[in-house]
């Protein structure tokens, strides 16, 4: 396996569009790193640049201590798994697995051994003589993974490999990829727009938006300490609630459009109230930290009334869609009897759960 280092990578297309703006990070030997962000954020462009399928405008790409900017894809010792599987329809599973090895001139005995090992690892032993059209989506994806696996490359690159599968298969394949990584100890770079895939698979995550790296960290640190409003709003389902307004000079309320959020009792909280007085700020609160007042511990000191609009029962919990002034909020609560939509609910939260962001540039304050 190998480390991968990106140093100030920039990609600008001929039409002037900046796809990647100065991305720098290192993928450790044996690490599974995820690139995540919305469509068009530059994550696939970065992956293709590492693979050698895209030339970069500036910056340096290193694999295993060697600069590879000028090397062709086949000289970089990487294997890529594509979104559309890219299997040869006229070949059997065994033929698809062996094809790349044959092109590289490996001995027949070595090819058969690697194909057998990959088939056993991925549960494909009974499908070696089947053709792609006879396989399910999950089976095709395992073949695509196996074709990369038999190469024994220094780095695995996976570009949205599960996006064509249904929800149940995606969950199962996430587990398979995680097991495969644990078993191989391989260096993997995984691209997805799905935050659940990113959070469950990545040892570290690179969050991208508009071609710029927003934050690089472990899944839980990204969730608990997002660096800015974009990261805070992108990671988490349902998304973080945001209260945007100006903190009153006495710091006792956040004045918003058509609503005022009372902040009595925050004097002893972690928020730097003196520094925030009179400023435009955004307070963030995860849906699981917003509860009905009668269920929240007595230590909670922030309470307000909101109108219940829609309830969404999802089995072990209920999402409450609320209206507070002109602001829509979501609370994630345990199953409980609830009034009909239109009723007023007293909501509460522990102020220690608040995140604070600058109302102008969106960067985290605390």
User: In the CATH scheme, what architecture does the domain 4-234 have?
Assistant: 3-Layer(aba) Sandwich (3.40)
pLDDT for the residue numbered 269: 67
What number of residues does the chain have? Answer: 366
Q: How far is CA 126 from CA 100, 130, 136, 288, in A?
A: 21, 9, 14, 45
List for the chain the helix, strand, coil content (%; round to 5): 30, 35, 35
pLDDT number for residue 266 = 64
Q: What is the reported pLDDT for 184?
A: 87
List 363's β-bridge partners, or say none: 228
Q: Which of 93, 133, 89, 137 is nearest to 115 (CA)?
A: 93
H or E element in which residue 280 lies: strand 280-285
Average pLDDT, the chain: 91
This prediction has a pTM of 0.91
CB neighbourhood size of 226 (10 A): 24
Query: In this structure, what token pair is assigned to residue 266?
Result: 């925050």
Distance of alpha carbon 137 from alpha carbon 193, whole angstroms: 19
3-state DSSP assignment of residue 68: coil
Who contacts 203 (Cβ-Cβ below 8 Å, separation ≥6)?
Answer: 31, 32, 33, 218
Q: Which CATH superfamily is domain 241-358 in?
A: Nucleic acid-binding proteins (2.40.50.140)
Q: What is the pLDDT along the chain (366 residues), one digit of tens a residue?
A: 799 999 999 999 999 999 999 999 999 999 999 999 999 999 999 999 999 999 999 999 999 999 999 999 989 999 999 888 788 999 999 999 999 899 888 999 999 999 999 898 888 999 999 999 999 888 888 898 899 889 889 999 999 988 888 888 888 889 888 988 998 899 999 999 999 999 999 999 999 999 999 999 999 999 999 999 999 999 999 999 999 999 888 778 899 988 899 887 665 567 777 778 888 999 999 999 999 998 777 666 789 999 999 999 998 999 999 999 999 999 999 998 889 999 999 999 988 889 999 999 999 987
Q: How many Å is the maximal CA-CA distance in the chain?
A: 79
Residues with Cβ within 8 Å of 90's Cβ and at least 6 positions away in sequence, in order, are: 131
Task: Provide the residue ranges of all domains of the chain, joining segments of one domain with +.
Answer: 4-234, 241-358
pLDDT for residue 299: 66
The backbone region for 150, taken as left when phi is positive above 0, alpha when psi lies in -120 to 50, beta otherwise, is: alpha
């Amino acid at each position: 396996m190998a480390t991968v280092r990106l140093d100030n990578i920039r990609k600008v297309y001929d039409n002037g569009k900046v796809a990647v703006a100065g991305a720098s990070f290192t993928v450790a030997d044996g690490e599974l790193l995820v690139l995540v962000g919305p469509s068009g954020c530059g994550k696939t462009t970065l992956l293709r640049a590492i693979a050698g399928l895209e030339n970069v405008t500036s910056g340096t790409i290193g694999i295993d201590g060697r600069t590879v900017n000028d090397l062709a894809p086949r000289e970089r010792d990487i294997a890529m798994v594509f979104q559309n599987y890219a299997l040869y329809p006229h070949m059997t599973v065994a033929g698809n697995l062996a094809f790349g090895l044959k092109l590289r001139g490996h001995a027949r005995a070595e090819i058969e051994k690697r194909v057998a090992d990959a088939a056993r690892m991925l549960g494909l032993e009974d499908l070696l003589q089947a053709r792609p059209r006879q396989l399910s989506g999950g089976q095709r994806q395992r073949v695509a993974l196996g074709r990369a696996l038999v190469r024994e490359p220094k780095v695995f690159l996976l570009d949205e490999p599960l996006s064509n599968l249904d929800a149940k298969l995606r969950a199962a394949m996430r587990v398979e990829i995680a097991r495969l990584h644990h078993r191989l100890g391989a260096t993997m770079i995984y691209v997805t727009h799905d935050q659940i895939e990113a959070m469950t698979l990545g040892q570290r995550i690179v969050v991208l938006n508009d071609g710029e790296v927003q934050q690089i960290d472990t899944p839980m640190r990204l969730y608990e300490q997002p660096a800015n409003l974009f990261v805070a709003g992108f990671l988490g389902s349902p998304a973080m609630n945001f209260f945007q307004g100006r903190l009153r000079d006495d710091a006792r309320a956040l004045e918003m459009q058509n609503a005022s959020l009372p902040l009595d009792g925050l004097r002893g909280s972690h928020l730097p109230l003196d520094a925030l007085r009179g400023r435009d700020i955004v307070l963030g609160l995860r849906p699981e930290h917003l509860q009905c007042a009668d269920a929240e511990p007595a230590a909670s000191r922030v309470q307000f009334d909101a109108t219940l609009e829609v309830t969404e029962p999802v089995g072990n919990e209920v999402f409450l869609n609320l209206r507070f002034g002109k602001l829509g909020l979501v609370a994630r609560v345990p199953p409980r009897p609830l009034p009909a939509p239109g009723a007023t609910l007293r909501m509460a939260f522990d102020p220690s759960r608040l995140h604070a962001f600058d109302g102008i540039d969106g960067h985290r304050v605390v």
